[in-house]
Amino acid sequence: VYMGHYMREWLAQQKLVTGGECPPENAVYAYANSLQRTVATAQFFITGAFPGCGITVHHQPQMGTMDPTFNPVITDDSPAFREKALQAMEKERQGMQLTESYKLLETMIDYRNSPSCKEKQVCSLSEGKDTFSAGYQQEPGVSGPLKVGNSLVDAFTLQYYEGFPKDQVAWGEITSDKQWQVLSKLKNGYQDSLFTSVAVAQNVAKPLVKYIDNALVGEEANKAKVTLLV
């Protein structure tokens, strides 16, 4: 809601909407992925930006499934592209320095006493091997320490933003901004290795980029002054 209110003021400064009144019909188009959280986010944004204006948040009818426009899946089923994507993701990963992050995480979670170490003899995240995947109609994926690290740091981050007491966020093991910065490299590294190489990004982003292109310069360009994508 607060973000919507802020953006309304910015849009008024840019003269895309008029302050203090509802925009004309169809001047604002809100389009959300068909998940509960994205639709709710769009609704709260619209409430903050245009309260009482009756602007509809559009989404596909079947809730709980990814809208193809927003779904970052591989859309090229050729073996050549699959190999190209795998090499690109591996190259991104090789350029990352994550040893310090893994060592900190291992200490925090007592990894040497974990079931993974005791039962599978996998006792070091920093020495583990990541295995990437680029299956057709699937999101780029990875198994191995990078996935483990991302899952844990993502959980800690959610605990923090949900307002957990400090001693309950990551069992109270995170006590400084420096630790957050070191751990965040794992979460960022996960996303960057999977999605930021040119080969993968161009493929998985194509449906969304085509939608944006159509909204800006295509058939829909002269309809809505403001398009919200969530």
pLDDT class of 116 with cuts at 50, 70, 90: confident
Phi, psi (deg, nearest 5) at residue 101: -65, -45
The pLDDT, as a whole number, for residue 217 is: 86
Residues 91 and 194 in one domain: yes
Task: List, for residues 10-21, the tens digit of each pLDDT value.
Answer: 999 999 998 888
Three-class secondary structure assignment of the chain:
CHHHHHHHHHHHHCCCCCCCCCCCCCCEEEECCCCHHHHHHHHHHHHHHCCCCCCCEECCCCCCCCCCCCCCCECCCCHHHHHHHHHHHHHHHHCCCCHHHHHHHHHHCCHHHCHHHHHHCCCCCCCCCCEEECCECCCCEEECHHHHHHHHHHHHHHHHHCCCCHHHHHHHCCCCHHHHHHHHHHHHHHHHHHHCCHHHHHHHCHHHHHHHHHHHHCCCCCCCCEEEEC
Residues 96 and 8 in one domain: no
Residues 96 and 170 in one domain: yes
* Alpha-carbon gap, residue 138 to 30, rounded angstroms: 26
Whose tokens are 């989404």? That residue is 59
Host domain of residue 7: 2-72+206-229
- Is residue 94 left, alpha or beta, with left meaning phi > 0 and alpha meaning psi from -120 to 50? alpha
Phi, psi (deg, nearest 5) at residue 59: -160, 165
Residues 63 and 88 in one domain: no
Average pLDDT, the chain: 94
Residues 182 and 219 in one domain: no
The pLDDT, as a whole number, for residue 120 is: 86
Residue 186, pLDDT above cutoff 80: yes
Residues 159 and 88 in one domain: yes
The pLDDT, as a whole number, for residue 25 is: 86
Task: List, for residues 195-225, the tens digit of each pLDDT value.
Answer: 999 999 999 999 999 999 999 887 766 788 9
Residues 46 and 91 in one domain: no
Distances (CA, A) of 217 to 21, 24, 206, 207, 213: 27, 21, 16, 15, 6
Residues 57 and 91 in one domain: no
Task: List, for residues 60-115, the tens digit of each pLDDT value.
Answer: 999 999 999 999 999 999 999 999 999 999 999 999 999 999 999 999 999 998 88
Question: Is the alpha carbon torsion for 169, 175, 178, 183 positive or negative?
Answer: negative
The pLDDT, as a whole number, for residue 220 is: 67
Residues 90 and 45 in one domain: no
Residues 129 and 100 in one domain: yes
The pLDDT, as a whole number, for residue 218 is: 74
Q: What is the mean pLDDT of residues 26-52?
A: 96
Q: How many domains are there within the chain?
A: 2
Residues 129 and 181 in one domain: yes
Q: What is the mean pLDDT of residues 125-130?
A: 92
Residues 156 and 99 in one domain: yes
Q: What is the mean pLDDT of residues 1-6?
A: 94
**CATH code assigned at 91:** 3.40.50.1240
pLDDT class of 157 with cuts at 50, 70, 90: very high
